[in-house]
């Protein structure tokens, strides 16, 4: 009898909600990282020289990240007011249209506008998917379910890289738009979370109140700690992997290092790490222990990356794989954010928290650029990493454990 119950329990991991959320995040990551991969060839085709590609490329990326910040708030509020599925449908329509249109772009101004719209759409996918899966699975399987979503989804980075290698950058954007339409058809059979349905019937309840995270001291501390846990993840992606070509020169590596390839290896590691972190959380019965172990592994990898004297491009890519594996607590971090807050603001939390972390990349790159003239690339990255990891360790060690928490509760005033 117990074996049959366990088998039935594990079948939840193959439910429509988990499968569609995983495929949705796959398309989301494909489209999210696509500009970073096609930045140089696309801007070259638009007639920009090297200096213009650097300036305008950073500007377009900032427009996309700005869209993510705004979209995170908009989709989060909508997810708590209208339902998790409304976000899954609305977000993919938005970013699929924007990405398809990017394949026709002819000037930088339009490119910026389209990446901004794409950023707004891309902001809703992960938070809504994690919220839906968390509320649909038994609490014992939540960590593994959300890790499956992220583990499968993050492979979208690999697909994006090889699509660009095989096709032109315009056709890579067209492919992203087509994938979005196919995903939209798959989502027709997915059902809304039962926990949300029960909460939605309470018309007097305040839902999706983003400002409520800032009007209550205890809630604000929790919200800030959730963001802090995620800082090392985008430090690795936004600094160590993205600027890998600069670190390669600083280390004296003779071969040319491709940042796009470094990011791809980072995401391969991230996908594997996400799957492992869910299993670790399951067997340790603790989100905090699993994330702390993964964060420590990442910290050690960052020290090796910057100061072990790597002398070849192959070893640098291998370290990107290591670092990506270490930050494979990304899904766990989003799950922790979802589990900390009540049903009436859960989608808002789960959607805004990862996008707030993504938004800090602008601050990281700005500080990195400011420090470089004074302490050079390696030390600038190390100082930035010290800040991110210090905050990350403090936040994960002091935040409440949520592995056994029932999610059928609401936030008061």
Tell me the per-residue pLDDT of 74-124, one tens digit each, with 9 for 90 and over: 888 887 787 767 777 788 889 889 999 999 999 899 999 999 999 998 887
Query: Is residue 203 included in any domain, yes or no?
Result: no
Collapsing DSSP to helix, strand or coil, 8 comes out as helix
Query: Is residue 227 included in any domain, yes or no?
Result: yes
As a whole number of Å, the CA-based R_g of the chain is: 20
pTM score: 0.82
Does residue 230 surpass a pLDDT of 90? yes
- What local confidence, expressed as pLDDT, does residue 189 receive? 60
Average pLDDT rounded to a whole number, residues 201-214: 73
Which of 2-6, 195-199, 386-390 is the most confident on average?
Answer: 386-390
Query: Is residue 376 included in any domain, yes or no?
Result: yes
- Please give the mean pLDDT across all residues of the chain: 84
Q: Torsions phi, psi of 404, nearest 5?
A: -110, 15
- What local confidence, expressed as pLDDT, does residue 200 receive? 59
**pLDDT band at residue 39 under the 50/70/90 scheme:** confident
| Of the candidates 109, 125, 121, the residue with the CA atom closest to the CA atom of residue 70 | 121
- What local confidence, expressed as pLDDT, does residue 3 receive? 42
Task: Decide if 156 contacts 29 (C-beta within 8 A).
Answer: yes
- What local confidence, expressed as pLDDT, does residue 23 receive? 83
Non-local CB neighbours of 37 within 8 Å, separated by 6+ positions: 160, 161, 164, 172, 260, 263
Counting the structural domains of the chain, the total is 1
Average pLDDT rounded to a whole number, residues 40-67: 84
Task: Decide if 286 contacts 401 (C-beta within 8 A).
Answer: yes
| Of the candidates 345, 343, 355, the residue with the CA atom closest to the CA atom of residue 406 | 343
Query: Is residue 139 included in any domain, yes or no?
Result: yes
What is the C-alpha to C-alpha distance for residues 222 and 219, in angstroms, rounded to an integer?
5
Average pLDDT rounded to a whole number, residues 243-259: 88
Does residue 375 surpass a pLDDT of 80? yes
- What local confidence, expressed as pLDDT, does residue 72 receive? 85
Least confident span in 119-128, 191-200, 206-215: 191-200
Q: How many CA atoms lie within 13 A of 402 on its CB side?
A: 24
| Of the candidates 137, 142, 143, 128, the residue with the CA atom closest to the CA atom of residue 294 | 143
**pLDDT band at residue 174 under the 50/70/90 scheme:** very high
- What local confidence, expressed as pLDDT, does residue 256 receive? 86
Percent of the chain with pLDDT over 70: 91
**pLDDT band at residue 13 under the 50/70/90 scheme:** low
What is the C-alpha to C-alpha distance for residues 125 and 189, in angstroms, rounded to an integer?
17
What is the C-alpha to C-alpha distance for residues 399 and 104, in angstroms, rounded to an integer?
46
- What local confidence, expressed as pLDDT, does residue 86 receive? 74
What is the C-alpha to C-alpha distance for residues 272 and 286, in angstroms, rounded to an integer?
19
Query: Is residue 5 included in any domain, yes or no?
Result: no
Any idea what the CATH number is for the domain that residue 105 is in?
A: 1.20.1250.20
Does residue 276 surpass a pLDDT of 50? yes
Query: Is residue 7 included in any domain, yes or no?
Result: no
Query: Is residue 276 included in any domain, yes or no?
Result: yes
pLDDT tens track for 298-344: 999 999 999 998 989 999 999 999 999 999 998 888 889 888 988 78
Task: Decide if 348 contacts 130 (C-beta within 8 A).
Answer: no
Which of 5-9, 61-65, 240-244, 397-401 is the most confident on average?
Answer: 397-401
| Of the candidates 123, 142, 122, 144, the residue with the CA atom closest to the CA atom of residue 132 | 142
Query: Is residue 159 included in any domain, yes or no?
Result: yes
Task: Decide if 135 contacts 194 (C-beta within 8 A).
Answer: yes
Domain that holds residue 239: 19-186+213-398
Query: How long is the chain?
Result: 413
In what helix (H) or strand (E) does residue 239 lie, and over which residues does it extend? none
């Amino acid at each position: 009898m117990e074996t049959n119950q366990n088998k039935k329990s594990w079948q939840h991991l193959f439910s429509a909600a988990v499968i569609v959320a995983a495929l949705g995040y796959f398309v989301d990551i494909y489209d999210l990282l696509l500009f970073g991969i096609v930045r140089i060839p696309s801007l070259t085709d638009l007639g920009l020289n090297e200096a213009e590609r650097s300036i305008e490329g950073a500007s377009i990326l900032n427009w996309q990240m700005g869209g993510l910040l705004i979209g995170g708030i908009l989709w989060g509020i909508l997810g708590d007011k209208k339902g998790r599925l409304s976000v899954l449908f609305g977000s993919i329509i938005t970013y699929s249209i924007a990405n398809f249109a990017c394949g026709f772009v002819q000037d930088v101004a339009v490119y910026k506008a389209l990446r901004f719209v794409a950023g707004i759409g891309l902001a809703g996918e992960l938070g809504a998917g994690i919220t839906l899966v968390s509320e649909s699975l038994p609490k014992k399987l939540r960590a593994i379910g959300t890790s499956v979503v992220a583990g499968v989804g993050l492979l979208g980075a690999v697909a994006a890289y090889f699509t660009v290698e095989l096709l032109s950058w315009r056709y890579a954007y067209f492919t992203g738009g087509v994938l979005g339409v196919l995903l939209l058809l798959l989502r027709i059979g997915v059902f809304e979370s039962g926990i949300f349905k029960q909460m939605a019937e309470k018309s007097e309840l305040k839902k999706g109140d983003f400002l409520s995270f800032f009007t209550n001291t205890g809630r604000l501390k929790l919200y800030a700690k959730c963001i802090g846990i995620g800082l090392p993840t985008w430090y690795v992606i936004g600094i160590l992997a993205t600027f890998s070509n600069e670190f390669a020169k600083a280390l004296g590596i003779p071969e040319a290092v491709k940042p796009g390839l470094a990011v791809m290896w980072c995401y391969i590691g991230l996908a594997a790490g996400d799957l492992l972190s869910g299993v670790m959380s399951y067997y340790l019965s603790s989100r905090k222990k699993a994330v702390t172990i993964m964060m420590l592994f990442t910290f050690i990898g960052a020290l090796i990356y910057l100061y072990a004297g790597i002398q070849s491009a192959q070893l640098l890519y291998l370290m990107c794989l290591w670092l990506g594996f270490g930050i494979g607590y990304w899904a766990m971090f989003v799950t922790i954010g979802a589990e900390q807050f009540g049903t009436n603001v859960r989608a808002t939390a789960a959607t805004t928290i990862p996008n707030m972390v993504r938004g800090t990349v602008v601050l990281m790159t700005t500080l990195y650029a400011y420090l470089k003239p004074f302490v050079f690339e390696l030390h600038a990255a190390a100082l930035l990493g010290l800040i991110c990891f210090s905050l990350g360790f403090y936040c994960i060690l002091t935040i409440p454990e949520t592995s056994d928490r029932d999610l059928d509760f609401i936030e008061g005033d």
